[in-house]
Structure 1
Amino acid sequence: MERWPALDLASTVRHDGDGGVTDDLATVQGATRWIQEQGELPTGPVPAGGPAVDENLRLDLIELRQAVRALFARVVAPAPPSPADAHRLMPVDRAVTLLNTAAAREPVAPQLVWPDSGVPGARLLSAENDPHVRIVAALARAAIDFLGGPQREQLRSCTAPRCVRYFVKSHGRQEWCKPSCGNRARAARHYTRRRTAASDGDGRS
C-alpha cells in the first residue's frame, strides 16, 4: 500500500477512540516517536536512535502540519474539512508560502543511481547537514509532490462520526478512511432513521 508522508503528517491529529482528539506531536517524546516510526522519509532512512527532537523541531512540524491540513481542506472543498481544525485553518496563501519556504531550506540535487545488475533510479543528494532542517524540508517537499500530483484528486475528509482524518480514496465506492469508520457511520445513520421514524409515529398518534 502506497504511503504519503504528507498524509501521515496530517494524520498525527486523530480520533483517540474515546470520543476526543489526540495529537501525536503534543510532546517532544511524541514527536520523536512519530519520526522514528516513519522509518523512511524523503531524505532517506531515519536513524534508529535519532535524530534527537527538540522543542523547535516539534513546533516546526506542527506549523508544517497546519499548512498541510489547511491545503487539504482547500482540496476537499466544497465538502467539509476535517472537524479537528475547521474553525482555525491557516490562510491558504500563508500555507503555500510556508511549504515553499520550508522546502527551499534544504539544497538538494538529483543523482542517478544505476547498479550493475538493475534498473537506473534517482535519489536526492542533500547539501544540508542539519537533520532538523532536512526532516522539515523533506516533509514540505513531500506535501508539494502530493498536492501537485494525481492523488490530490482522490483526497477526502472522513465523514464518520468523531473521525478527523483525511484519506486517499482507493476505490470508487469508498466513503470513509477505514472499515471501522464505515461501521460507525452506518450505525449512526441507522440510529438516526429509527429516531426519525419513532418521532413521526409519535406525531401521528
Structure 2
Amino acid sequence: MHETATGTAAQTAFPPAPGAEQHPALDLANSALVLPGGHTLDLLASPADATQWLAARDLAPADAGLQEVCAGRLRTLRDQVTALLTSRIDSAPPPFAALDAVNDALTGAPAAAVLLWDETHGLHRAPSHPADRIVDHALAVLAADAADLLTGPDAERLAACGSAPCHRLLLRTHGRRQWCSVRCGDRARAARAYARRARPAPARTPDEAA
C-alpha cells in the first residue's frame, strides 16, 4: 500500500545527499523522498514543515508562520527545479514551464539592498523582506542557486541515486556509480548480493554430467 509521511519529525532523518549542503536547490529537489515499501516522505508537506525546512537553511525566521499558499509555492518550485535538474542529468531539453517557473521566482523578490538604520548596526544596507515577502525572497535564493548549478561546472556531476526506489539527486564525487547515502549504498549492495544468490545455476551439459 502506498503511504505518505509528513516531514515534521523527519527533517534530520536523512543526511544531505552529496552536494546538497553546497546547493540549496539540490536540497530542495531532495525534500520529496521515495522510500522502500511504497512509502513517500515530503519534508514540505505542511506549512509547519515548510517553515522548519526554510528556517534550517536560514531562508526564513523560525517564527515565520507560513500559510498553506506559501508552502504550496515552495512545493511547486521544488517540482520545477527537480524537472530541470533531471533533464540535465538525462541530457534532455529542459521543460519550458520549469524554466518559466525558475525565472519567475528569480525576479519575484527585490534585488536591491535598501538603506536601513538601527541602534545596533547604525546605517547599513540590507535586503528588505517584510513578512509578506519572506517566501518571495526564499524562492528567489533557491531559483538563483538552481540557475547557478545548471550553468556552472557542477552540472556535469549531477546524478540520481543508484539505489532504487530512491531518486534523490546528488553531485558525483568519484566513479560511475553513486549513492546519496550510506543507507542507499548498503541497500544496493545487499540487493546485488541477493540477486547473485537467487540466480539459478547454469544447466550442466551431458558431457559434464558424465
Same fold (TM over 0.5): yes
Q: Which residue number in structure 2 is paired with residue 105 of structure 1?
A: 108
Deviations 1:137-189, CA, capped at 9 Å, x for gaps: 11111111111111111010012022120011123455211222111111111
Is residue 53 of structure 2 the alignment partner of residue 34 of structure 1?
yes
Query: For 1:125 and 1:142, how far apart are their aligned partners in 2?
Result: 20
Moved more, 58-67 or 7-16: 7-16
Shift of 1:106: 1.4
Q: Find the structure with the greater CA-based Rg.
A: 2
Is residue 127 of structure 2 the alignment partner of residue 126 of structure 1?
yes
Q: Which residue number in structure 1 is paired with residue 44 of structure 2?
A: 25
Which letter maps to 2:152? G
Q: Could you tell me which of 127, 136, 150 is aligned with 2:153?
A: 150
Deviations 1:100-121, CA, capped at 9 Å, x for gaps: 111111131489xxxxxxxxxx
What runs of 5+ residues in structure 2 fail to find an aligned partner?
A: 1-18, 115-124
Matched pairs, number: 175
Query: For 2:106 and 2:192, how far apart are their aligned partners in 1?
Result: 43
Match of 2:199, SS state, is helix
Q: Give TM-score, length-normalised by structure 2.
A: 0.72
Deviations 1:49-85, CA, capped at 9 Å, x for gaps: 3322111111111110011110111111169xxxxxx
Q: Is the 8 A contact 1:13 1:164 kept in 2?
A: no
Matches within 5 A, 1:74-89: 74-77=87-90
Q: Is the 8 A contact 2:47 2:65 kept in 1?
A: no
Deviations 1:28-58, CA, capped at 9 Å, x for gaps: 12112211222x34xxxx43x3322111111
Query: For 1:103 and 1:51, how far apart are their aligned partners in 2?
Result: 21
Which letter maps to 2:137? R
Q: Is the 8 A contact 1:108 1:125 kept in 2?
A: no
Is residue 68 of structure 2 the alignment partner of residue 55 of structure 1?
yes
Give the % identical residues: 34
Q: Which of structure 1's runs of 4+ aligned residues deviate more than 4 A?
A: 16-19, 201-205
Matches within 5 A, 1:144-183: 144-172=147-175, 175-183=178-186
Query: For 2:71 and 2:169, how far apart are their aligned partners in 1?
Result: 21
Query: For 2:77 and 2:205, how far apart are their aligned partners in 1?
Result: 52
Match of 1:156, SS state, is strand
Query: For 2:82 and 2:136, how far apart are their aligned partners in 1?
Result: 20
Is residue 144 of structure 2 the alignment partner of residue 141 of structure 1?
yes
Q: Which residue number in structure 2 is paired with residue 118 of structure 1?
A: none
Match of 1:197, SS state, is coil
Q: Is the 8 A contact 1:108 1:126 kept in 2?
A: yes
Q: Is the 8 A contact 1:161 1:188 kept in 2?
A: no
Q: Could you tell me which of 81, 87, 91 is aligned with 1:68?
A: 81
Q: Is the 8 A contact 1:7 1:166 kept in 2?
A: yes
What runs of 5+ residues in structure 1 fail to find an aligned partner?
A: 80-90, 112-123
